[in-house]
Structure 1
């Protein structure tokens, strides 16, 4: 077994699902799991999130709701109409699993390594306490990956 992969993480922390109606899908998961429906919230505006989509500034936002499932978090994402990886996925693929996320360190180094292996950066931005990046790994892994780096 190899000691080191392309990505310096083996820890999946999140599965992200793009939805059209976060209220309905949140309730369905809450009913399935027997838990309280989480309150959704909007991602930050550009001035705080510094979102880039294919290297260009993006004012896209999304409603997010989270279910903590032990070691893995389930994230529901309802995008607004502005260009983003979430909107592209919903428009082109419909609702479904958008990404799996890994907690990493050294975001810029990880992105460069992935890009050297033909895995392109799609979207990146900041959130309270950290930053994220979506990488197009659909050809190799059949799903996008998200890198999460907390400060």
Structure 2
């Protein structure tokens, strides 16, 4: 399959974990990747498998070269994150493209993928998860607004300038 040029490149690889602080420190100590920026997410109006749910999780971002790494520690509310852990899966949960949501949804639906989760952050950023494959269960699409793009730039710049100090930062 040829990826449409408008979809761009995979910008992020994400892992769902049961202890985000332990995992962030593992990435620092084993892979030398940091600093990590950890934060809480609480989105009241998210659609998961067709049902409206509240999405709560602890998330963390770091950068390795041009690749953003995301860690997600879900709460107990139903989501694609709890679904992943409840099925005893480990490893890559999703990859993420930065693209226009409607076009990406249509593209992945044409490949037989289904919408698994959708929502909008408090800063107005839409996110969409489509079902993926056995090896990469989900594909995320975000269309970053200026606020999100600025934060992502900060994560990348911090990684390039990182001297090893303050490896896990709480926002």
Pair in the same fold by TM > 0.5: yes
Q: Which runs of 5+ in 1 are unaligned?
A: none
Q: Spell out, residue by residue over 1:48-74, the C-alpha distance to the aligned partner (whole angstroms, 9 max, x if none).
A: xx3110122111211101111121100
Structure 2 residue 77 is the aligned partner of structure 1 residue 82: yes
Structure 1 residue ranges (4+ consecutive) displaced by more than 2 angstroms after TM superposition: 4-8, 32-39
Number of the residue aligned with 1:111? 105
Q: Distance in 2 between matches of 1:142 and 1:12?
A: 12
Q: Secondary structure at the match of 1:59?
A: strand
Tell me: CA distance 1:6–1:34, structure 2 relative to 1, closer, same or farther (3 Å).
closer
Instruction: Indicate conservation of the 8 Å contact 1:6/1:114, yes or no.
Output: no
Instruction: Indicate conservation of the 8 Å contact 2:57/2:72, yes or no.
Output: yes
Q: Distance in 1 between matches of 2:31 and 2:136?
A: 27
Number of the residue aligned with 1:16? 14
- Tell me by how many angstroms 1:129 deviates: 5.0
Instruction: Indicate conservation of the 8 Å contact 2:98/2:143, yes or no.
Output: yes
- Tell me by how many angstroms 1:126 deviates: 1.6
> 1:53 pairs with 48, 51, 64, which one?
48
Number of the residue aligned with 1:130? 125
Matched length: 144
Q: Which runs of 5+ in 2 are unaligned?
A: 146-171
Normalising by structure 2, report the TM-score: 0.75
Normalising by structure 1, report the TM-score: 0.84
Instruction: Indicate conservation of the 8 Å contact 2:94/2:136, yes or no.
Output: no
